[in-house]
Chain A
Amino acid sequence: MSKVTVDSVSKFYGAVAALDHVSLTFEDGEFFGLLGPSGSGKTTLLRMIAGFVAPDTGSVSFDGERVDTVPVQKRGIGMVFQNYALFPHLSVADNIAFGLSVRSAPRAEIDRRVGEMLELVQLPGKGGRKPRELSGGQQQRVALARALITQPKVLLLDEPLGALDRRLRQEMQVELRQIQRRLAITTIFVTHDQEEALTLSDRIAIINDGKIAQVGAPQEIYEAPDSVFTAQFLGDANVLRGQPSGTRLTLADGSRIETNGPNAGIAIVRPEKIRIERGHRPPTGNGLQGVVAQAVYSGASVTYRLAVPATGDTPFLAFAQNQSGGVIAPGEPVTVSWETAQTIVVKP
């Protein structure tokens, strides 16, 4: 259980910065998600905290003590790898026991702790199996148990659920969260799956091009993204560009909308915040007129792509709850409207 601090860390590969002066604090007991596209530097940051990558600038500290010169095996971390990295020649019990056995713990203690861990990850009685005899989800649990048995200060997860199918993944998310709460262990995990990041994390850092784009609680980042990148990476967003004048934004076709604060010519609105109505009506509040270009019916909801003169060639997205059972056909004129509060000012 530890607070982890990275202070202005960078990693350069030649002229390319995988990480560019990144500073973050991971609070004690926090479940923290590092979210970003591939190549954004999120994995480099995780591996730097683990000790596999040495920072070119800055420092890594656990509870205020610098660890960037401490070798991996002395940092007191636990890590779950993307492919689980279970030792194929050892039984499940020996895999889990590994961290204690390299510390020459007494046999009786190892057996007791392995038993506890098998209980914790709900695999009692599976200790004698070989890893390859287990399903993907079970292997995942063994990897988690192996990482936790040494009672690490920090748990690091590299795309922990990436290899599982959707259903199993959701189950494992719940379980992972429960175990993390129970042990109150500082947990840092890397993912490119936005839904996973939103579901699991106490806080999220969005990473792009080796820099932190935004840090905050899931709801905070989703409801108040501060950049176009964050808005579009975490969920979908319609980007509105135009001439700024205080809280007013004049779009390409001359239509005016009000933003949730003084803007610099750019704002976003999330597709699920939009009302869509048939026909062209005079806009009340923020609204635009357009034509349905495509309607994708998916049962509970309908996704509309609209041709809206105000946004030029970029289709305008609207997610509608399927309340009437009908779908507005492509070619039909529509009016979309939304709250001023949902017109979120962002920096480009």
Chain B
Amino acid sequence: MTRDGARVWGAGLYLGLMLAFLYLPIVVMIVMAFNRSPLYELPFVFDLVWFKALATNDRLLQASFNSLWIALVTAAIATVLGMLAAYAFARYEFRAKRTLQVLLFPPITIPWLIVGTSMLVFFFWTGIGRGLHAILLGHVALALPYVIVVIGARFQAVDASLEEAALTAGASPWQAFTRITLPLLAPGLIAAALFAFAVSFDQFVISYFLAPPGVSTLPVEIYSAIRKGFTPEINAVSALIILLSMGLMLIVARFYKFGGER
């Protein structure tokens, strides 16, 4: 074998190990969702028994529905609010702008456990209380810094002179925004919405703290189900979610090149 051959082979091995490390647990989980045995026993016997069980598991379904709904609404609200904030940061000079920009980052680095605790105390104290509304509020607050940073980066590619050119051509500020700025921002908005969706959908600690008894999101429900005793229904619902999110990512990646010119 030549030295080049060895190098390519070594690189391939390294890549294979990395991919296996990342994806093998997920693949095993998906495969086991279709296995009849509840205890990961081999040989593999194909069966949809766990999906049927899932279809009748109201708690898990309700939790999935809650998670999906909260994540979608979080993505919508955080993206709109974040876009407005990013617009202000990109286009205007105002007092304490730098300070505000710096203040975006601590919520990203502070452990969620601490943020969750402080939110719980704050919501209790202000009378907001616990419930899906509180979870939604918490998720939007969590997602906002990510959204502002992602959209802010995209604003670098949308020169202010483009809006000015639209105005001189006779467009109203609203037309300039919808016909020029918005389409150019679109890749950033979609990336930001995905981020917000993921932050919310993944969120365990804050949801756990803010969920009153009887209400839960999918991660919270999975956690309590595992504590009571693992069932492969978890595999089934996880498999569905993985396929859904990967499909979504593929569609987005197909239509948008993140970061670059469209």
Residues A73 and B164 in contact, CB atoms below 8 Å apart = no
Q: In the complex, which residues of chain B have a beta carbon less than 8 angstroms from the beta carbon of A156?
A: 168
How many angstroms from the CA of A52 to the CA of B180 in the assembled complex? Answer: 18
Does A78 reach chain B (CB closer than 8 Å)? yes
The answer to whether residues A98 and B171 also contact, given A81-B161, A132-B261 and a CB cut-off of 8 A, is yes
How many angstroms from the CA of A132 to the CA of B261 in the assembled complex? Answer: 10
Q: In the complex, which residues of chain B have a beta carbon less than 8 angstroms from the beta carbon of A103?
A: 170
Does A112 reach chain B (CB closer than 8 Å)? no
Tell me the chain A residues, 197-242 only, with Cβ under 8 Å from chain B.
none
Q: In the complex, which residues of chain A have a beta carbon less than 8 angstroms from the beta carbon of B183?
A: 89
How many angstroms from the CA of A146 to the CA of B164 in the assembled complex? Answer: 13
Chain A: interface residue total (CB-CB under 8 A): 27
Q: In the complex, which residues of chain A have a beta carbon less than 8 angstroms from the beta carbon of B173?
A: 73
How many angstroms from the CA of A71 to the CA of B174 in the assembled complex? Answer: 13
How many angstroms from the CA of A87 to the CA of B163 in the assembled complex? Answer: 9
Does B262 reach chain A (CB closer than 8 Å)? yes
Q: In the complex, which residues of chain A have a beta carbon less than 8 angstroms from the beta carbon of B161?
A: 81-83, 85
Task: State the Cβ distance, A72 to closest chain B Cβ, in Å.
Answer: 4
The answer to whether residues A98 and B169 also contact, given A83-B161, A85-B159 and a CB cut-off of 8 A, is yes
How many angstroms from the CA of A140 to the CA of B29 in the assembled complex? Answer: 58
Residues B164 and A81 in contact, CB atoms below 8 Å apart = yes
Does A300 reach chain B (CB closer than 8 Å)? no
Residues B159 and A50 in contact, CB atoms below 8 Å apart = no
The answer to whether residues A72 and B167 also contact, given A87-B162, A89-B262, A132-B261 and a CB cut-off of 8 A, is yes
Q: In the complex, which residues of chain B have a beta carbon less than 8 angstroms from the beta carbon of A64?
A: none
The answer to whether residues A73 and B171 also contact, given A83-B161, A85-B165, A88-B261 and a CB cut-off of 8 A, is yes
Residues B169 and A146 in contact, CB atoms below 8 Å apart = yes
Q: In the complex, which residues of chain B have a beta carbon less than 8 angstroms from the beta carbon of A88?
A: 184, 261-262
Does B245 reach chain A (CB closer than 8 Å)? no
> Of all chain A residues, which has the CB nearest B164?
A52
How many angstroms from the CA of A73 to the CA of B164 in the assembled complex? Answer: 9
Chain A 73-102 interface mask (CB, 8 Å, partner B; 1/0): 110011101110111110000000011001
> Of all chain A residues, which has the CB nearest B161?
A85
Tell me the chain B residues, 177-195 only, with Cβ under 8 Å from chain A.
179-180, 183-184
3 closest Cβ contacts across the A-B interface? A99-B169, A85-B165, A79-B168
21 example contacts (A-B, Cβ-Cβ < 8 A) are as follows A50-B168, A51-B167, A72-B168, A73-B167, A73-B170, A73-B171, A73-B173, A74-B170, A77-B168, A78-B169, A85-B165, A87-B162, A87-B184, A88-B261, A89-B262, A98-B179, A99-B170, A99-B171, A102-B171, A103-B170, A150-B170
| Chain B residues near A (Cβ < 8 Å) | 159, 161-162, 164-173, 175, 179-180, 183-184, 261-262
